[in-house]
């Protein structure tokens, strides 16, 4: 299992975690949504489930559920600012297509 976090994404995640010291880490998952099928979810993890994979990436606990695990293996998570907009950006080698707005992706 391999997930990478760029320094910009790491800084953003640390800022969120600093405001929520009781969080179990950062949850990285996918859910069915958007025009292409799956969308990414990055949120604070309230708890770690018995089947969750917990990764220590640059000192950040990243929690991934088993259903998402196969779809996000190898993903690089970045954080970018463009004008007034700021968001996480995902470079996922498993994605075979993305919608035009970049909110969702497909896999084979």
| CATH number of the domain to which 31 belongs | 2.60.300.12
What is the average pLDDT value for the chain, to the nearest integer?
A: 88
Handedness of CA 35, 37, 41, 46 (dihedral sign): positive
pTM beyond cutoff 0.75: yes
Contacts of 94 (CB under 8 A, 6+ apart): 70, 71, 72, 73, 74, 75, 107
Task: Count the domains in the chain.
Answer: 1
Residue 96 has pLDDT above 80, yes or no: no
Q: Are 10 and 25 in contact (CB under 8 A)?
A: no
pLDDT band for position 77 (50/70/90)? very high
- DSSP reduced 3-state for 8: helix
Tens-digit pLDDT profile for residues 7-60: 999 999 999 999 999 999 999 999 887 666 888 899 999 999 999 999 999 999
Q: Which domain holds residue 87?
A: 4-106
């Amino acid at each position: 299992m391999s997930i990478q976090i760029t320094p910009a994404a790491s800084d953003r995640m640390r800022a969120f975690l600093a405001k929520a010291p009781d969080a179990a880490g950062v949850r990285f998952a996918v859910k069915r949504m958007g025009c292409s099928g799956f969308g990414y979810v990055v949120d604070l993890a309230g708890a770690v489930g018995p089947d969750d994979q917990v990764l220590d990436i640059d000192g950040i606990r990243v929690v991934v559920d088993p259903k998402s695990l196969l779809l996000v293996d190898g993903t690089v998570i970045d954080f970018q600012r463009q004008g007034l907009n700021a968001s996480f950006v995902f470079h996922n080698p498993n994605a075979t297509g993305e919608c035009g707005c970049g909110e969702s992706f497909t896999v084979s």
